[in-house]
Amino acid sequence: MERRAVMKPEQAVADVELGYGSRVVKVKALVDTGASRSVMSRRLADQLKALTPLKKPYELRTADKGGGLRIIGFCNVDVTFQGVEVPGGARFEVAENLRDDIDLIIGRPEIDAWDIVFTPEGPKPRRVPIEFEII
């Protein structure tokens, strides 16, 4: 019988520090390989005072039946992922209706760019420092 590894919820959660100007906020982020974008809650964007509103908000579909996120803006912030600085920081879409128990989702583009691997201790960068390649 074939055994498949099952990832525990804590293996998909990472400690992330976000900075904007003099403000720094530490959060637990969901690292979601199924997310096509990285998304931040409106609460977190307001806490950082980093929200750049969109002239035309839009809906981002989710896997939930009939679910969708209303994207109202974006934030460009400094990022430290599991204690490792991300050069140049990152841009997160800002959703006004993200679930109350989630403030930050790190999606596939950042998972790939930061070369994140999943370990029993949780997600972490494969290489430190994080380096980007243009191929």
Asked if the model's pLDDT at residue 24 lies above 60, the reply is: yes
Domain that holds residue 115: 12-122
Instruction: Kindly indicate the confidence band of residue 66, based on its pLDDT and cuts at 50, 70 and 90.
Output: low
Cα 60 to Cα 26, 39, 71, 94, 98, distances in angstroms: 25, 10, 7, 11, 11
What is the average pLDDT across 65-89? 93
Q: Does residue 7 form part of some domain?
A: no
| pLDDT tens-digit map of 82-119 | 999 999 999 999 999 998 999 999 999 999 999 999 98
Q: Does residue 67 form part of some domain?
A: yes
Q: Does residue 134 form part of some domain?
A: no
Average per-residue pLDDT for the chain: 90
Cα 62 to Cα 53, 70, 71, 95, distances in angstroms: 21, 11, 12, 12
Cα 65 to Cα 47, 61, 68, 106, distances in angstroms: 30, 9, 9, 21
When divided into structural domains, the chain yields a total of 1
**CA trace torsion 19, 7, 129, 135 (10° rounding):** -100
Q: Does residue 111 form part of some domain?
A: yes
Asked if the model's pLDDT at residue 6 lies above 80, the reply is: no
Rounded to whole angstroms, how far apart are CA atoms 70 and 10?
27
Q: Does residue 4 form part of some domain?
A: no
Is the pTM higher than 0.75?
Answer: yes
